[in-house]
Homo-oligomer: A and B are copies of this chain.
Amino acid sequence: MFETAATTLDWLGVIVFTVTGALVASRKEMDIVGFAVLGTVTGIGGGTLRDLLLGSPVFWTREPAYLLTCLAVSAAVFFAAHIPQSRYRYLLWLDALGLALFAVAGSERAWQAGVGATVAVAMGVITATVGGIIRDLLGGESPVILSREIYASAALAGAITFVALTAAGGPRELAVGAGFLVGLLVRAASLRFGWALPRYRPRPGRPV
């Protein structure tokens, strides 16, 4: 049951992030191969870095269904991206959903690989944010991770929730569900209400 839950999160995250990558391709008016490249890189980027850092086999090299799914989803966006009224709003909300899914899925994979709690949380944040970073760098978008709202912090909150509950011996379905909800709600509240952490403020009149 749990293996199913974690794998389901992973699959949903890949699909959702692939859509955000393909939406960036649509904003840049790329051709269908551009959609496929940007969609796929966004969908599998975070999990790929996680697996490399853990020394695990990279997940999609053993399971071609991931790549084929990314290609199919990207192609679907190519033909359907004109339907939503505002693609950038969709992109932000899907990105929030993917962030929450991958924060838990990334921490869980790392925890299964036997690392400690700190490293597991870091892997959750890396899995959740790296796909979007690559998408924004390659697509020439302003990186969402540097936006004024709460972003990496939401992934951090979700990953900490999952790892804390798991380390405390809580039921894994609970840890997965709670981590996902915490990550999603923090990011959604930030998007909806403009929540932000206090920023560093330089002293006036000093050179930077």
Contacts and interface: CB of A to CB of B under 8 A. Distances in A.
Interface size range on A against B = 35 or more
Contacts of A197: 31-33
A154 to B, nearest CB: 9
A207 B140 CA distance: 18
Interface string A109-139: 0000001111100100100010001000110
Interface in A120-171: 122, 125, 129, 133, 137-138, 140, 143, 145-146, 150, 152-153, 156
Contact of A133 (B122, B138, B152): B138
A203 B201 CA distance: 42
A55, A61, A208: most-surrounded residue (chain B CB, <10 A): A61
Q: Is the interface of A mostly helix, strand, loop or mixed?
A: helix
> What copy number does this chain have within its complex?
3
A163 to B, nearest CB: 12
Interface of A: 25-35, 37, 40, 48, 52-55, 57-58, 60-61, 64, 67-68, 78, 81-82, 85-88, 115-119, 122, 125, 129, 133, 137-138, 140, 143, 145-146, 150, 152-153, 156, 196-203, 206-208
